[in-house]
Amino acid sequence: MRLLLAAFAPELGSLAGQPPAGWEAATVGVGAVTAAATTARLLVERRPEAVLFLGTCGSYDGRLRRFDAIWASEAIATSLEEVQGGAYRPSIERTAWAATLPGPLPTHPVAVPPAITRTREGAALLASVAPAEHLELTGVFAACHAAGVPCGAALVVVNEVGPEAQVQWQTHHAEGSRRLVETLRASGLFAGA
């Protein structure tokens, strides 16, 4: 069995109530800490052979456009304070987790700050880390790496990071999730699972 995860059910689209054969679906909640704890629990309870996370994300700059679907090559824990030089992490702290499942989409690293970035200036700074922002992925990937379970993530861009992000997300997240599921189904990712 493979485990299909999302922060909340709408991001699973049509897969929420009817996952593909050989898959189970679950939600992990919003934010990296909640996602890490819930993913760790699900890994112990369900013992999947692999984990695929589905979600929406915001783009920092013009590299990614609305409804672009990507495969996260790695999840990077970061913050504006860190990028600006006002904070630092101990050298022994792990801050990046690579995807260990190959995927059918273009690959990009994904920045995972502790909160949603609301300014264009912040988006421009974080664009030096990755082209996209997401809130849960470090937690999901960290839990999978700790348990030795292969993991991957397919994300769809539904907003530009900045002052209009929340309105754009509310307007486009359902359509983006629907398109992402259609793209994954068409890729054959779920065939023969």
Q: What are the residues whose beta carbons fall under 8 Å from the beta carbon of 22, sequence distance 6 or more? A: 1, 2, 193
Q: What is the pLDDT of residue 81?
A: 95
Q: Does residue 193 surpass a pLDDT of 60?
A: no
Mean pLDDT of 95-101: 97
pLDDT digits (tens, 9 = 90+) for 139-179: 999 999 999 999 999 999 999 999 999 999 999 999 999 99
* In the chain, where the domains are located: 2-187
| Residue-averaged pLDDT of the chain | 96
CATH of domain 2-187: 3.40.50.1580
* CB 133, CB 155: distance < 8 Å: no
Query: CA 105, CA 102: separation in Å to the nearest integer?
Result: 9
Mean pLDDT of 90-119: 96
pLDDT digits (tens, 9 = 90+) for 8-30: 999 999 999 899 999 999 999 99
Q: What is the pLDDT of residue 42?
A: 98
What percent of the chain is modeled with pLDDT above 90? 96
Three-state SS sequence of 47-102: CCCEEEEEEEEEECCCCCCCCCEEEEEEEEECCHHHHHCCCCCCCCCCCEEECCCC
What percent of the chain is modeled with pLDDT above 70? 99
